[in-house]
Amino acid sequence: MSPAPDERDRIRAAMQRILTGRPEYSNGALTVVALAIEAQVPRNALTQRHPDLRNEFYAHVRERGGITDTEARLRAQIVKLKQTIANKNEELARLREDVPALVRALNQLTAENEELRQQLQLPSPSVVPLRPTAR
């Protein structure tokens, strides 16, 4: 059984979209898997039925020196996200270090508050007027 006549055309069109950084169906990675997804064909279409197109794709990738614009953008985004995660982990570690001191301060304030509340509940001392009041 021969492959559908438009399968090779779909693979070539998908190859062109990926290599120009305008994938429609895949993530645009420079891999056979992404090419198969972009062409909407099974992966074995490239590995078994059309190895010449697979080899052609990889030859174009080598000529380009590697990655597409989309992949470069994604890699830059990954670097930024990793830095954000590292910053957040540092902030979290600092906050965790602050917790014991905050707990101690809260306990101290709670004790002082309780002491002040107890002082307010003492019977009021006798007040002796300095001048006798007229009766």
Give the pLDDT confidence of 54-63 residue by residue, as tens digits: 999 989 888 8
- Is residue 78 one of the residues assigned to a domain? yes
Q: What domain range is 19 assigned to? A: 5-64
- Is residue 46 one of the residues assigned to a domain? yes
> Is 68 within 8 Å of 26 (Cβ atoms)?
no
Are 56 and 75 in a shared domain?
A: no
Q: What is the pLDDT of residues 22-35, one digit of tens each?
A: 999 998 888 899 99
Nearest by Cα to 29 from 73, 77, 59: 73
> Is 50 within 8 Å of 3 (Cβ atoms)?
yes
Are 115 and 72 in a shared domain?
A: yes
| Total structural domains within the chain | 2
d(CA 11, CA 135) in angstroms, rounded, equals 114
Whole-prediction pTM value? Answer: 0.48
Q: Is the dihedral of CA 76, 82, 87, 92 positive or negative?
A: positive
pLDDT at 54: 93
- Is residue 135 one of the residues assigned to a domain? no
Are 104 and 80 in a shared domain?
A: yes
- Is residue 132 one of the residues assigned to a domain? no
